[in-house]
């Protein structure tokens, strides 16, 4: 069963051909890592899954992206409904200028959830699943900015998980964090994979190796190779992949 | 990260342990098949050799994945390297068990041969080797360096029995010219058991290397050479 | 060959540095000195006039006696009125320019016009205010017309600070909100506005500080030479500090006797402006501490 499927995806920023003929199938419940040098298109591709690139003027998509078999670029799709089901965690922690509680509740509130008891319950569940509950349960009313960088990032993960997305997109979620916080995020990714399909863009090949089941290698807007992470890291098919993961270029 | 590594280490540890038990069982069964002239058991050992080989390949590839995916350092790296070598040594021991079983299959052992076995101290030789194998596994599981090092002493017993066995076989062959073939085959069995002892030494050395980062290989023999000089 | 350094060159370059930095220091001291002289002059001349009566009484004896109370009240009314106009209009325009139509030719044009608006001499605003608010809309000389004219003057600053405050918010905050299924409007209201607010309010207060000292825009639209009563509605005229200062210093029956009152008025005006700048700074610091995103 494929959660996300991309068929012949071409993407342009104005006249720049950013993604070239990409086909990929991401199975439900897997952790898939996108690796590749800067500017290879991996982040751009990730951001197509929740239509974040819609915000960019002059961007154009060809081909299809299906989630659960439905074309998410179809006219009938409401982009806010789509995004509710496809959570995203960003490179830098971006908590809102609100309390810890309100940060996590935000996704529920903007989607019209009013039931206070339900919101409290979801906030606790989300914070627990982000391994943050025990650290913050006594200071839910405090500003999110009082947390450390690593905690803020886990708060952002909790915020994304609060609306129970079936896909979680992570755009270099640990690149701004210290090694200990990074390790916690990586552990979290493994645990969350039981609840949601995860696609993670990372600059760290070790991170991709540690957390993912499958890895896709991007280079110059093309997807060079996609397969089991073990295979990619022990015996990649393409020479370009080998050169990249062994640090010979990129 | 520690958690992923821990899971993987656990898995490899379990596989090595299983491989170890499998090889132990092979060696033990080969021994029993010789002792009791048990052809059925010997057939079983020969059949299981395939499983040993397949298991070796599986462990090799798992350790390769572990190194590729988790870039282990320090104790984790020593563990991975040690397990790789232990795996290969176990497979060699499995090979010896197989060829001993094959010896049983192609030779019609007679109950009378038991007398010869006793003269050769086959039982002692075998039991020593099995004890060494078991002791080394226990030292790995309990991270017991002293126990691992104790194996080196026991190995000398094997060498001694093997040396004596040659004399016994030469004498026996002279008395019973019709049993020359059997004697040569038995010399091969003892040779294999002696080599098994060497491989178990390697297992113990790798165990110590993993636990203590101490490189024992060759140093021990060098020291012995020094003593003799 | 071993590298040879000339010790004399090193001494020369250090001497040059000392001389240049000395000059810089002197110039900045000079600027501070000028400011102190101006402030000192006003304070010395004005403070002796300022007392409770001066602050709470209307002018008497043909401007040669009494106080400036109606001018203080008038200035506050005008500031309040212009804030009520410039704040919503400015913030909404700023948000529109930053969030809804960024990068377009229209916005570039609007931005250019806004900058030009800021560069127009304030007397021109006064003239426009008289033609449009006073005459065309028939507000008459009134607080309403004056406030709107001053509001127009403050508008470019409010728009600029709002737009910049929104623009400086990292895109990932917008995306973070949108990624949770929020609409653009929800994102602006719940996330961006709270983040931009301190800077917007600071900009507004600074612009009001400037507006409160303007004379020209109210000259034709609102300000009265002398009113014994306080204004009762927004269609009344009012007195204002800067205009009052202008009047007592330039015209009247007895300029000599009026001069101390002029200095007193200037003193009060400067205090009001300084206090507002101080408040703006405090607000900014307070919110920055609270919103420290580092």
pLDDT one-digit tens code per residue, C163-213: 999 999 988 899 999 999 999 999 999 999 988 988 888 888 888 888 888
Q: What is the pLDDT of residue C7?
A: 86
Sort out which chain A residues have CB atoms less than 8 A from C191's CB and list them: 96-97
Residue A165 has pLDDT above 70, yes or no: yes
- pLDDT at residue B221 in the model: 52
pTM, 2 dp: 0.76
B152 near A CB under 8 A: no
Query: Could you tell me the maximum CA-CA distance found in chain B, to the nearest angstrom?
Result: 68
Calculate what percentage of chain B has a pLDDT beyond 90.
59
Flag whether pLDDT at C248 surpasses 90: no
Q: Which position has the higher pLDDT, C141 or A163?
A: A163
| Domains by residue range for chain C, with CATH | 68-241 (1.10.3720.10)
Q: Chain C within 8 Å of A106 (Cβ-Cβ)? A: yes
The strand pairing partners of A71, in sequence order, are A66
| For range A158-171, the mean pLDDT | 94
Q: DSSP strand E in A110-166: where?
A: none
- At B151, which helix (H) or strand (E)? helix B145-175
Residue B216 pLDDT greater than 70, yes or no: no
What percent of chain B is predicted at pLDDT more than 70? 92
Torsion over CA: A230, A236, A240, A242 (sign): positive
Minimum CA–CA partner of A209 in chain B:
B69
Helices marked H in chain C: 7-46, 52-56, 69-95, 105-119, 122-129, 143-167, 171-178, 184-187, 193-212, 216-219, 241-250, 255-290
Taking an 8 Å cut-off on Cβ atoms, the answer to whether A209 and B3 are in contact is no
Q: Which residues from A are below 8 Å from C190, CB to CB?
A: 96, 98, 106, 110
Q: Is residue A22 predicted with pLDDT exceeding 50?
A: yes
Q: What angle do CA C213, C215, C221 make, to 5 degrees?
A: 125
Q: Give the total number of structural domains in chain B.
A: 1
Chain C, window 246-285: residues with a beta carbon less than 8 angstroms from a chain A beta carbon = none
The more confidently predicted of residues C18 and B4 is C18
Q: What is the pLDDT of residue C135?
A: 80
* Mean pLDDT to the nearest integer, C62-72: 74
Looking at the predicted structure, is the pLDDT value of residue A63 above 70?
yes
Please tell me the distance in Å from A190's CA to the nearest CA on chain B: 9
Give the model confidence (pLDDT) of C5-58 as tens digits.
888 898 999 999 999 999 999 999 999 999 899 888 888 888 887 777 777 777
The CA distance from C99 to the nearest CA of chain A, in Å, is 11
Q: Is the pLDDT of residue B229 over 60?
A: no
Q: How far is CA A243 from CA A113, A219, A236, B137, C104, in A?
A: 50, 12, 10, 40, 43
% of chain A surpassing 90 pLDDT: 72
Query: What average pLDDT does the structure give for chain C?
Result: 83
Q: Nearest residue of A to residue B63 by CA position?
A: A234
pLDDT in tens, B57-108: 999 999 999 999 888 888 889 999 999 999 999 999 999 999 999 999 988 8
Whether residue B132 contacts residue B151, with contact meaning beta carbons closer than 8 Å, is answered with yes
Structure confidence at residue C277 (pLDDT): 85
Does C101 touch chain A if contact means CB atoms closer than 8 Å?
A: no
Inform me whether the C-beta atom of residue A160 falls under 8 Å from chain C C-beta atoms.
yes
Q: Does B11 touch chain A (CB under 8 A)?
A: no
Q: b/e string for A74-102 if b means 16 or more Cβ within 10 A?
A: eeeeebbebbbbbbbbbbbbbbbbbbbbb
pLDDT digits (tens, 9 = 90+) for C141-156: 788 888 888 888 888 8
Please indicate if any CB of chain C lies within 8 Å of the CB of A81: yes
CA-closest candidate to residue C292, choices A152, A239, A230, A160: A152
> Which of C168, C179, C196, C291 to mutate to test binding with chain A, by most A CBs within 10 Å of its CB?
C179
Bridge-based pairing state of the strands A31-35 and A197-201? parallel
| Nearest-5° Cα angle at C269, C264 to C274 | 125
pLDDT over threshold 80, residue A239: yes
Look at residue C273 in the predicted model and tell me its pLDDT: 85
Best-predicted range by mean pLDDT among B25-29, B145-149, C191-195? Answer: B25-29
Min Cα separation B39/chain A (Å):
43
Decide if C293 and A107 are in contact by the 8 Å CB cutoff.
no
pLDDT at A156: 95
A211–B4 CB contact, under 8 Å: yes
pLDDT attached to residue C209: 83
- Rounded CA-CA distance C166/C188 in Å is 9
Range C87-91 average pLDDT: 91
| Chain C environment of A84 (Cβ under 8 Å) | 180-181
Residue of B nearest to A208 (CA): B69
Q: Which residues have C-beta within 8 Å of that of residue B50, sequence separation ≥ 6?
A: none
- Tens digit of each residue's pLDDT (9 = 90 or more) over C227-239: 767 777 777 777 7
Tokens 């704040």, residue? C87
Question: What integer pLDDT is reported at residue C2 of this predicted model?
Answer: 79
Confidence category of residue C64, pLDDT binned at 50, 70, 90 = low
Confidence of residue B225 (pLDDT cuts 50, 70, 90): very low
Contacts of B80 in chain A (CB under 8 A): none
Please report which helix (H) or strand (E) contains residue B159, including its range.
Answer: helix B145-175
Residue A241: count of CB within 10 angstroms of its CB:
23
Predicted confidence (pLDDT) per residue in A96-137, tens digit: 988 999 999 999 999 999 999 999 999 999 999 888 999 998
Comparing CB atoms, the residue among C182, C290, C292 nearest residue A110 is: C182
pLDDT higher than threshold 80 for residue A215: yes
Q: Which domain holds residue B156?
A: 2-228
- pLDDT for the residue numbered B66: 92
With contacts defined as CB-CB under 8 Å, which chain A residues touch B66? none
Q: Which chain C residue lies closest to A58 (C-alpha atoms)?
A: C103
The DSSP bridge pattern shows strands A214-219 and A222-228 to be antiparallel
Closest chain A residue to B61 measured between Cα atoms? A234
Instruction: Enumerate the residues of chain A whose CB falls inside 8 A of the CB of residue B63.
Output: none
pLDDT band with cut points at 50, 70 and 90 for residue A5: very high
Contact A206 B71 (CB under 8 A): yes
Helices C255-290 and C193-212, axial angle in degrees (round to 10): 170
CATH of residue B38: 1.20.58.220
Distance between B62 CA and the closest CA of chain A, angstroms: 9
Please identify among residues 34-63 of chain B the ones whose CB lies closer than 8 Å to any CB of chain A: 61
Of A186, A206, A230, which is closest to B65 when you measure between CB atoms?
A230
State the count of interchain CB pairs (< 8 A) between A and B: 32
What is the average pLDDT score of chain B? 88
A138 half-sphere exposure, CB direction, 13 A CA radius = 2
The pLDDT assigned to B228 comes to 39
Q: Which residues of A fall within a CB distance of 8 Å from B70?
A: 206, 209-210
């Amino acid at each position: 069963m494929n959660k996300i499927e991309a068929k012949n995806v071409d993407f342009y920023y104005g006249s720049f051909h950013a993604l070239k003929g990409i086909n990929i199938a991401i199975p439900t419940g897997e952790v898939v890592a996108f690796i590749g040098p800067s500017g290879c298109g991996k982040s751009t591709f990730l951001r197509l899954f929740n239509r974040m690139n819609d915000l960019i003027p002059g961007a154009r998509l060809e081909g299809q992206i299906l989630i659960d078999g439905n074309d998410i670029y179809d006219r009938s799709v409401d982009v806010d409904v789509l995004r509710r089901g496809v959570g995203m965690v960003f490179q830098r922690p971006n908590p809102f200028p609100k309390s810890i509680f309100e940060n996590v509740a935000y996704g529920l509130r903007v989607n019209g959830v009013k039931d206070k008891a339900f919101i409290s319950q979801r906030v606790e569940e989300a914070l627990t699943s982000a391994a943050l509950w025990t650290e913050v349960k006594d200071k839910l009313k405090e500003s999110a900015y009082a947390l450390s960088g690593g905690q803020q990032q886990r708060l952002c993960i909790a915020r994304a998980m609060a609306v129970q997305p079936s896909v979680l997109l992570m755009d270099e979620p640990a690149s701004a964090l210290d090694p200990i916080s990074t390790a916690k995020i990586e552990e979290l990714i493994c645990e969350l994979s039981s609840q949601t399909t995860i696609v993670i863009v990372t600059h760290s090949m070790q991170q991709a190796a540690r957390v993912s089941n499958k890895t896709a290698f991007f280079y110059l807007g093309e997807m060079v190779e996609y397969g089991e992470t073990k295979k990619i890291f022990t015996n990649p098919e393409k020479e370009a992949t080998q050169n990249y993961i062994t640090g010979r270029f990129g | 990260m520690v958690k992923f590594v821990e899971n993987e280490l656990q898995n490899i540890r379990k596989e090595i342990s299983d491989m170890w038990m499998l090889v132990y069982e092979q060696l033990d069964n080969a021994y029993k098949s010789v002792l009791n002239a048990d052809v059925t058991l010997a057939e079983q050992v020969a059949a299981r050799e395939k499983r040993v080989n397949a298991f070796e390949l599986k462990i090799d590839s798992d350790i390769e994945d572990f190194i590729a995916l988790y870039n282990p350092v320090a104790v984790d790296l020593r563990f991975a390297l040690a397990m790789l070598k232990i795996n290969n040594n176990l497979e060699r021991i499995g090979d010896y068990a197989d060829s001993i079983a094959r010896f049983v299959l192609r030779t019609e052992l007679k109950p009378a041969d038991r007398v010869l076995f006793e003269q050769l101290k086959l039982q002692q030789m075998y039991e020593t080797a099995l004890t060494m194998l078991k002791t080394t596994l226990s030292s790995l599981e309990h991270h017991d360096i002293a126990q691992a090092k104790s194996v080196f002493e026991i190995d000398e017993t094997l060498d001694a029995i093997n040396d004596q066995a040659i004399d016994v076989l030469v004498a026996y062959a002279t008395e019973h010219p019709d049993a020359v073939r059997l004697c040569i085959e038995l010399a091969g069995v003892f040779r294999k058991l002696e080599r098994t002892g060497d491989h178990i030494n390697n297992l113990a050395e790798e165990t110590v290397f993993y636990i203590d980062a101490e490189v024992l290989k060759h140093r021990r023999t060098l020291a012995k050479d020094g003593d003799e000089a | 060959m071993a590298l040879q350094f000339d010790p004399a060159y090193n001494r020369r370059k250090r001497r040059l540095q000392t001389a240049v930095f000395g000059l810089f220091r002197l110039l900045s001291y000079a600027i501070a000195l000028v400011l102190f002289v101006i402030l000192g002059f006003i304070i010395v001349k004005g403070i002796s006039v300022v007392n409770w009566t001066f602050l709470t009484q209307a002018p008497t004896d043909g401007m040669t006696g009494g106080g400036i109370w109606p001018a203080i009240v008038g200035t506050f009314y005008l500031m309040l009125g212009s804030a009520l106009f410039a704040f919503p209009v400015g913030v909404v325009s700023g948000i529109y320019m930053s969030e809804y139509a960024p990068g377009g030719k229209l916005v570039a044009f609007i931005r250019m016009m806004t900058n030009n608006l800021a560069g127009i001499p304030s007397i021109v605003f006064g003239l426009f205010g008289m033609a449009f608010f006073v005459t065309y809309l028939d507000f008459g000389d009134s607080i309403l017309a004056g406030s709107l004219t001053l509001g127009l003057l403050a508008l470019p600053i409010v728009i600029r600070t709002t737009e910049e405050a929104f623009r400086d918010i990292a895109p990932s905050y917008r995306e973070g909100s949108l990624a949770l299924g929020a609409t653009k409007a929800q994102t602006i209201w719940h996330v961006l506005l709270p983040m931009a607010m301190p800077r917007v309010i600071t900009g507004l207060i600074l612009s009001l500080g400037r507006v409160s000292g303007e004379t020209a825009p109210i000259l034709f639209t609102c300000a009265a030479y002398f009113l014994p009563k306080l204004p009762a509605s927004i269609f009344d005229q009012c007195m204002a500090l800067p205009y009052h200062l202008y009047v007592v210093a330039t015209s009247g029956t007895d300029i000599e006797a009026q001069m101390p009152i002029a200095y007193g008025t200037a003193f009060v005006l400067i205090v009001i402006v300084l206090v507002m700048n101080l408040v703006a700074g405090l607000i900014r610091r307070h919110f920055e501490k609270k919103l420290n995103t580092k």
